[in-house]
Amino acid sequence: QSVLTQPPSASGTPGQRVTISCSGSSSNIGSNYVYWYQQLPGTAPKLLIYRNNQRPSGVPDRFSGSKSGTSASLAISGLRSEDEADYYCAAWDDSLSGPIFGGGTKLTVL
Amino acid sequence: QVQLVQSGAEVKKPGASVKVSCKASGYTFTGYYMHWVRQAPGQGLEWMGRINPNSGGTNYAQKFQGRVTMTRDTSISTAYMELSRLRSDDTAVYYCARDLFKGFGSSQGLGYWGQGTLVTVSS
């Protein structure tokens, strides 16, 4: 059971905007940065968002992150078929002294 | 460009040990934390621990304390993760991943990942 809670699935049609939520607690999201990873089928994860809302070089600005209190969300605008993937949130947990991941959200582009 | 190349797939029997390597190139190996993350079939990501390649210092997830050992060889820019007393539920893809930013303060995201190494534990 993951310490960070994500919906198991999400979906949208091309061009739509979808959001994926991530809920934690005061020992992780509430006091540390949130990160988001994209995992395409059969590949290694890729960092999409760091420090709550920053994008690494090369990540399109269609992807955005936000955080409020002990929750965070990833928004994807202008949805494309190639966005179909699993998305994971993560944050450092002070109680566990290490990063923890959400259970992942499988995004389907209809 | 940053590259992390891991060793090949392994098949082990329960009770055995496995050692996975991760060869880094394209950056200063001793400047960034190296983490190990695993993913069981059809499951999510699980952090196992990290190593400071400069000092050799390690931090392990409590779940793996006593069973995991992370080491490095700076002369060949390679990190290693050894897991002992393997069980069937250790069957997973094991990834090495480098911190996004240089330095050894708080980790700031896993910016570069290896291709993964499938470890299968079966009798």
- The CA distance from B103 to A70, in Å, is 27
pLDDT at A1 over 60: no
Query: Which chain B residue lies closest to A2 (C-alpha atoms)?
Result: B44
Better-scored residue on pLDDT, A55 or A95: A55
Strands, sheet with A18-23, edge to edge from the N-terminal-most edge strand: A18-23, A71-76, A63-68
pLDDT given at position A66: 97
**pLDDT at residue B51 tops 90:** yes
Mean pLDDT across the stretch A60-79?
97
Give the residue-averaged pLDDT of B9-31. 97
Mean pLDDT over residues A55-79, rounded? 96
Measure the N-to-C terminal CA separation of chain B; round to a whole number of Å: 40
Tell me what percent of the residues of chain B surpass a pLDDT of 90. Answer: 92
Phi/psi at B107 (nearest 5 deg)? -65, 145
User: What percent of chain A clears pLDDT 70, i.e. is strictly above it?
Assistant: 98
Q: Which of B34, B47, B63 to mutate to test the interface with A (most CBs of A within 10 A)?
A: B47
Closest residue to B45, CB basis, from A32, A92, A101: A101
How does B56-68 read in b/e, with b if 16+ C-beta sit within 10 Å? Answer: eeeebbeebeebb
pLDDT higher than 90, residue A96: no
- What pLDDT score does B106 carry? 78
Interface with B, mutate which of A47, A52, A92, A96 (most B CBs under 10 A): A47
Q: What is the mean pLDDT of chain A?
A: 95
pLDDT, residue A24, reads 96
Check residue A2 and give its pLDDT.
62
Rounded Cα–Cα distance for residues A21 and B97 (Å):
24
The vertex-A63 CA angle with A3 and A73, nearest 5°, equals: 30
Higher pLDDT, A9 or A3: A9
Q: Report helix, strand or coil for A42.
A: coil
pLDDT exceeds 90 at position B46: yes
Question: Tell me, what's the pLDDT at B4?
Answer: 98
Cα separation, A105 vs A23, in Å, equals 13
Tokens for A69? 């209190």
What is the reported pLDDT for A49?
97
Report, as an integer, the average pLDDT of A16-39: 96
Displacement of CA B82 from its chain's centroid (Å): 8
Q: Is the dihedral of CA B37, B41, B44, B46 positive or negative?
A: negative
B66-119 pLDDT, tens digit per residue, is 999 999 999 999 999 999 999 999 999 999 999 999 988 877 789 999 999 999
Instruction: Assign 3-class secondary structure to chain A.
Output: CCCEECCCEEEECCCCCEEEEEECCCCCCCCCCEEEEEECCCCCCEEEEECCCECCCCCCCCEEEEEECCEEEEEECCCCHHHCEEEEEEEEECCCCEEEEECCEEEEEC
Range of weakest confidence among A26-35, A41-50, A59-68, B100-109: B100-109
**Closest chain A C-alpha to B16 CA, distance in angstroms:** 26
pLDDT for the residue B103: 84
